[in-house]
Amino acid sequence: MLFAAIFFFFIMRIGWIQLVKGDELQEKAYENRHRRVKVEAKRGTIYDRNMTELAISISADYVYAIPPEIRRSGKAREIAEKVADVLELPVDKVYSKITKKGSWFEYIKRKVDFEKSAKIKELDLPGISVAEESQRFYPHDTLAAHVLGFAGIDNQGLEGLEVMYDETLKGRDGAIMLEFDGQGKPLPNAVHEYVPPEDGKSIVLTIDETIQYIAERELDALMNSPTNPESATIIIMEPQTGRIRALASRPTYNPNHFADYSPKVWRNIAVSNVYEPGSTFKVVTASSALEENVIGENEKFYDPGYIKVGPERIKCWRSYRPHGSQTFAEAVQNSCNPVFVTLGLRIEEKKKGLFYDYIKSFGFGKKTGIDLPGEAKGILIPREQLKDINVATISIGQGIAVTPIQLITAMAAVANGGTLMKPQLVEKIIDKEGNLVKEIKPEPIKQVISEETSKELRAILERVVSKGTGRNAYIEGYRVGGKTGTAQKPGKGGYQKGKYVASFLGLAPVDNPRLVGLVIVDEPKGYPYYGGTVAAPVFKKVMEDALQYLGVPPQYNEEEKKERDAERVEVPDLRGLTREKAENALRSLSLKAQLMGNGDYVIEQTPKASADVKKGSGVILYLGSGNNKNETVKVPDVTGKRITAAAKLLEAMGLKLVPQGSGRAVRQSPIPYEKVPVGSEVKVIFTEEEIIETLGP
Amino acid sequence: MASKKSSTDFIFFFLVIVLLSIGVIMVFSSSAYTAARDLGDPYYYVRRQLIWATLGLIGMFIASKVDLQWLKSMSNIILLGSLILLVLVLIIGSTRGGASRWIGIGSLSFQPSEVIKLAMVIYMAKSLSVNSYKLKSFTKGLFPYLALIGLVCLLILAQPDLGTAVAVAGTSYLLLAVAGARGSHLFVLALSGVGAVIAAILLEPYRLRRFTAFLDPYADPIGAGFQTIQSLLALGSGGLFGVGLARGVQKCYYIPERHTDFIYAVLGEELGFIGAAFVLLVFLFFVWRGFKIAVSTHDSFMSLLAAGITIMITLQAVINIGVVTGSMPVTGITLPFISYGGSSLVFTLVGVGLVLNVSRYSS
C-alpha cells in the first residue's frame, strides 16, 4: 500500500514535470544547449582601377578556450601542455589564459596555420575550439595608406575609404544557431537556423597602383634626400574627370600595423591640412584676369619691386632686383607679385566681390566632397569683409588657406577647358562575382572659365616651365605647364623665418592635358627651398614615368629628335640583379629605369633582354624580394582558385603546390601573405562542396 | 517446512526481464555519446552491461535453485562474512570519486555494500522468523536489530555512501514493520531515523549543499543544483511521447551520471511520460507480485525473505526516482535493473532468484 501510494505520487510528479511544466523546461533546456553564433560577413575588396587588390580580407583560423569548460574538465595543466606544444607557445602563458577566472572566451592564438588548427581539432580537448575569422590585409603595406585607411580588429572601417565606404564594404553578418554538448563541443548535425552572411561589396578606385607607386617612390626619395622635409604630399588627377590617379603623403604608416603608429600619421594631410598656397594660387588669379579681360592686348606691366595698396607696401619676391617692364606672360613666368596684385585689384574694381566669386567658383572655401574623412574647407575671409589689401594678398596666394585637394581640383579645371570637376576616388562598386552594382560617373560642378581662357593660360604655364621659375619640371618629349610656389609658413605674430612650403602645380601635355599634379613639400631643409628647386624636380620625375606608363606619345621638338635618333642600344638581361646594379647598367646604356613593385631584386623586365631600343627609352623593372636564392616571398592567396590556376600562381612565385582533394581551394598552409623561402611547399586543400565550418561564439 | 507445490512465478520473472531489457537499451542510449568521446567506443558500457546481466541471470538461476533451508542455516556466516568485507573495503578498498566502495581488481571488483544489503535481508528474515515474538519488546527484541542496523549503516557511511546506508536502513525498518514490530516503536524509530539523516547531512557540508539544492535547485544552477536542474530539463523535454529513443541530447555531458544514477532522466526525455510512467507501473507490478509471493508461503523465513528482497529493490527504485524527479535530495543510488552497474545488478538479480525460489513454495 505504501509503495502503491509512493508510485502514484511519482506518476503525478512526472506528469507534472513532463506534461504541465514540459514546454517551459524544454525551452529552458533548448536555451541551455543552443548558442547563436555570429557568422562574419567577408569584407569587400578594395581594388585599384586595374583590379589590383589594395585591401583584402583573408581568412585565418584562431584557437580559443572556454575557461569554465577547462576547469570542469579538471585537466587544465594537461590541456595547456598539449595546446602549447602544437601552437609553439609557452605553457605557462597558455595555462593562465585557459584558466582565466570570470572569462567565458579567451583567444589562445589568432592567425593559426590550418595544419596546426587541424591538429588542435584532432586532440579534441574539452573547452578548446578552433574557428575561422577574416582579417583585413593590405598586401602592398604602406602603398596608398592614406587613401585606403584601415579597418580595425573586428573589421570595422576606422580611417580613409575603409570608413567612408564601411557600409558598402562590410556586408551583413549572418547567424548560426548551434547546439552544444555539456563540454561546449558542437553536437553532430548541430546546425540549426543558418542565416548566411551577406558578404560586403568591393570597390574599384580611380587610383592607379602604378602611378601611386611612382608618386610614393618619389616621396620616399625626397624624404631621404638632404631636403628632408617635415611632410610632403603628391596628388595626381585626370583633369577631364576629376579622377584621382595617385594621392600620397609622407610620413606614412603601414595599415597592417596601424596601431604601431601615432594617430597623427593616420591623418590624410592632402585633404585635411590647410596652408597658404603662395604663388601656385596665381594660376587662379591669372585665369580670372584672363576671363574678365582686364589685361590689355600686348600690355606692358612695370615692376618697381613692390606695389602700394593703400598704406601697405607689398614687395615682389625679387624686390632686390625688380623685374621691371614685362608682358603678362612674362609676369607669370617670373611669378611677379606686383603684377598679380594689380590684376586682382582690377578684377575687384570691375565689380565688388568679383574676384572673390571666382575663388569660390574654383572651389575654395568649401569642401570638395572627396570620399575621404576629415576634409577641411580652408580659410577664406568672408566676402563682405574683403578689403583691397585682402584682395591684393590673396592675388598672390597669401591671406588665404587652401587644402591640397582644392588646389589640384582648381588646376584640373584650368587644364580641362574650364570645368570644375568633383574629385573622385571610387570608380565603381562591384559584388563578389564582379558584377557592377553602381558606377560612379565623373561629376562636373560648374564651368568656371572659358575654353579659350583655359587654352591661353596653358600656353602661358608652359612658358613657366620652358623659360620661367618651373624649369626643373621640364620633361624631355612632353609639353609641361605649371606654376611654382614658395610660401613662408605663418606662425604667431607673422611669418616664421626659415620655414617654407615649396610647391609645384602642373599639367601635361599642354595641348591636351592627361594629368594634373601637385607636389607640396612642407619645410624643406637647407637652401634652396623654392618650389622651383624642391617641388618641381619631384613633379617632373612622377609625371615623366606616369605619362610613359599611360602611353602618352612623346612630342619631341626638332632638336630632341635629332639627339634621340643618334643611337640605338640593346636591352641587357637584368633579371636577378639588385635594383641598384640594374639601374646602373641601364644608366650606362642611356636607358631609363622604371621601377615597379617593392623589393631589392629585379624579377622581370619589359622589354625583354636583347630587344633593340632607342637610347633614352625606359625599361620597366619589376622588383621583388627574391633573387631566387635563399630569399623569401609572400605566399599568394589561392583560396577560391582551381588546382591549375593555383599551381600557376604559386609557380610564378617560385613556390611548390602540394594539393589535397579536388575542386576549389578552401584552405592553405602557410596562410596567405606569410613570408616563406623561395621553393617552399604550399599545401592547399581543395574541395568540391561548400562547407560550413564549425564556428565559435 | 512448506512442501514444493507450484512452479516458479513466471510473471515476477517476466517483469524483471522487461526492466532488464529496458535497462540494456537505455544504458546504450544514454552512454553511447559520452563513451564514444571519452573512451572512443560507444558500445563500451552496453557491452559490459550485457556481460553483467548475463552473470546476474546465471546468479539468479542458481539462487532460484539453492536450498533455502541451507541458506537459512548459513545466514549468520553470510552476515559475518559481509561485515568483514565491509570493514576490509575501508582499509584496502579502491577509491573512485572520493569514496572507497570497491574491492577487487579492475573489472573483477565489486561493492561489499551490495553484498551486505542482501546479507542483511537474509539474516533478518531468519532471525525475525525465529524471534518474532520478542519483537514486541524494545530492549530484548528491537534493540539488537537497531544496533546491528546502526553498525552496518555506520560502516557504509564511512565509505561514504549515504544512498546505500539509507536503503539498508529503510529496508530493515520496513522489514521490522512487516515482521510485526510495535507501531509506537516504529514511529519513534522513524523520528530518530529522520534525525540521523539530518545529523548526517549537517556533518558533511556537501550533503547540506545537495539538500538545500533539492529545495531550490536554481539557487546554485552551476554548482549543487546542477544535477537536479539538468535532470528536470531532460524529463521536461520529454513531454508526453518523448523525443525518441537515442535522440535525447541532455545525456551529452549535461546530465551527470547519465547511465547510472540519472538514467531515468534520460529515459524520461527519450520515451516521455508514457515511457517513464510505464517503468513506474512495471515496478508497481513488481512490488505487488513480490508481496504476493511473500504472503503465499507459510514459511515465515521464506515469506520475510521474499518481502525483504522486494522491499530492498523497490526502495532503491523509489529513492532513485525520487532524486531524479527532484522530489528528494540527491543521494547516489542506482535504479535497479535499469542503471548501469556491475555488482549491484548481479546481486539484485541474485535477490530476484531467491524470490523466485520462494515462489515455488507458495500454497
Query: DSSP string covering A253-270, please?
Result: --GGGGGGS-HHHHS-HH
DSSP bridge pairs for A249: A233
- Alpha helix (H) ranges present in A362-450? 388-395, 404-416
> Domain for residue A331, yes or no?
yes
Chain center to CA of A612: 37
Q: List the one residue out of A598, A623, A542, A635 whose CA is nearest residue A140.
A: A598
Same-domain status, A154 and A242 = no
**Measured in Å, how far apart are chain A's first and last C-alpha atoms?**
54
CB contact under 8 A, A22 and B236: yes
> Domain for residue A121, yes or no?
yes
What CATH number is given to the structural domain containing A571? 3.30.10.20
Same-domain status, A135 and A220 = no
Same-domain status, A274 and A390 = yes
DSSP bridge pairs for A198: A172
CB contact under 8 A, A181 and B240: no
- Check residue A311 and give its pLDDT: 86
Mean pLDDT along residues B184-202: 80
Which of A146, A180, A203 is the last residue before a domain boundary? A203
> Domain for residue A694, yes or no?
no
- Which residue from A4, A11, A24 is facing B236, i.e. has the nearest CB? A24
Same-domain status, A59 and A186 = yes
CB contact under 8 A, A3 and B280: no
CB contact B42 to A (< 8 Å)? no
CB contact under 8 A, B280 and A13: no
> Domain for residue A260, yes or no?
yes
- Alpha helix (H) ranges present in A142-281? 145-148, 160-164, 166-170, 209-224, 263-266, 269-272
Q: How confident is the model at residue B222 (pLDDT cuts 50, 70, 90)?
A: low
Same-domain status, A582 and A482 = no
Inter-residue contact A46 to A255 (CB < 8 Å): no
Of the residues A59, A117, A231, A279, which is catalytic? A279
Same-domain status, A314 and A436 = yes
Pick the more confident residue, B217 or A258. A258
CB contact under 8 A, A14 and B276: yes
CB contact A21 to B (< 8 Å)? yes
Cell of A451: 575654353
Query: Chain A residues with CB inside 8 Å of B222's CB?
Result: 68
Distances (CA, A) of A535 to A76, A524, A541: 64, 10, 10
CB contact under 8 A, B280 and A7: yes
Inter-residue contact B227 to B241 (CB < 8 Å): no
> Domain for residue A156, yes or no?
yes
β-sheet with A618-624: strand ranges across: A592-596, A618-624, A601-606
Query: Chain B residues with CB inside 8 Å of A186's CB?
Result: none
For the whole prediction, is pTM greater than 0.80?
no
State the residue range of the domain holding A27: 2-33
- Check residue A692 and give its pLDDT: 43
Same-domain status, A466 and A520 = yes
d(CA A582, CA A578): 6
d(CA B194, CA B200): 10
CB contact A5 to B (< 8 Å)? no
Query: Chain B residues with CB inside 8 Å of A21's CB?
Result: 236
Same-domain status, A538 and A645 = no
pLDDT exceeds 80 at position B215: no
Which of A203, A223, A250 is the last residue before a domain boundary? A203
CB contact B322 to A (< 8 Å)? yes
Same-domain status, A280 and A220 = yes
pLDDT in tens, A354-396: 999 999 999 999 999 999 999 999 999 888 888 889 999 999 9
Query: Chain B residues with CB inside 8 Å of A14's CB?
Result: 235, 268, 273, 276-277, 280, 325
Which of A624, A655, A671 is the last residue before a domain boundary? A624
Query: Chain B residues with CB inside 8 Å of A29's CB?
Result: 233-234, 236-237, 249-250, 254
Cell of A371: 570620399
Residue of B33, B38, B235, B328 best to disrupt the A interface, most CBs of A under 10 A: B235
Residue of B230, B232, B253, B271 best to disrupt the A interface, most CBs of A under 10 A: B253
CB contact under 8 A, A19 and B240: yes
Nearest residue of B to residue A28, measured between CA atoms: B233
CA distance B311 to chain A (A): 9
CA distance A196 to chain B (A): 26
- Check residue A694 and give its pLDDT: 39
Pick the more confident residue, A286 or B212. A286
Inter-residue contact A586 to A619 (CB < 8 Å): yes
Q: How confident is the model at residue B210 (pLDDT cuts 50, 70, 90)?
A: low
Query: Chain B residues with CB inside 8 Å of A25's CB?
Result: 232-233, 235-237
Query: A269-272 contacts: CB < 8 A, separation 24 or more?
Result: A269/A146, A269/A231, A269/A233, A269/A404, A270/A146, A270/A233, A270/A235, A270/A403, A270/A404, A270/A405, A271/A368, A271/A370, A271/A372, A271/A374, A271/A375, A271/A376, A271/A403, A271/A404, A271/A405, A272/A374, A272/A375, A272/A376, A272/A403
Query: Chain B residues with CB inside 8 Å of A181's CB?
Result: 33, 249, 252-254
Q: How many domains would you assign to chain A?
A: 5
Same-domain status, A169 and A281 = no
> Domain for residue A692, yes or no?
no
> Domain for residue A696, yes or no?
no
Mean pLDDT along residues B270-276: 94
Nearest residue of B to residue A17, measured between CA atoms: B236
- Check residue A577 and give its pLDDT: 76
Inter-residue contact B248 to B237 (CB < 8 Å): yes
CA distance A91 to chain B (A): 24
- The A residues from 105 to 124 touching B (CB cutoff 8 Å) are 124
- Which residue from B253, B273, B281 is facing A15, i.e. has the nearest CB? B273
- Check residue A626 and give its pLDDT: 56
**How many percent of chain B have pLDDT more than 70?**
90
Same-domain status, A649 and A619 = no
Question: Mean pLDDT of successive 10-residue segments in chain A (697 residues)?
Answer: 82 85 84 77 91 86 83 84 90 88 79 84 86 83 93 86 93 81 72 79 94 93 90 96 95 91 92 92 94 87 88 85 89 91 92 92 93 92 88 92 95 95 95 91 94 93 90 90 90 81 93 95 88 92 91 77 66 78 79 78 75 76 64 76 78 78 80 78 77 40
Cell of A621: 623593372
Nearest residue of B to residue A186, measured between CA atoms: B252
CB contact B335 to A (< 8 Å)? no
Inter-residue contact A528 to A502 (CB < 8 Å): no
> Domain for residue A697, yes or no?
no
Mean pLDDT along residues B273-283: 94
Inter-residue contact B224 to B256 (CB < 8 Å): no
Same-domain status, A612 and A588 = yes
pLDDT exceeds 80 at position B126: yes
Catalytic: A279?
yes
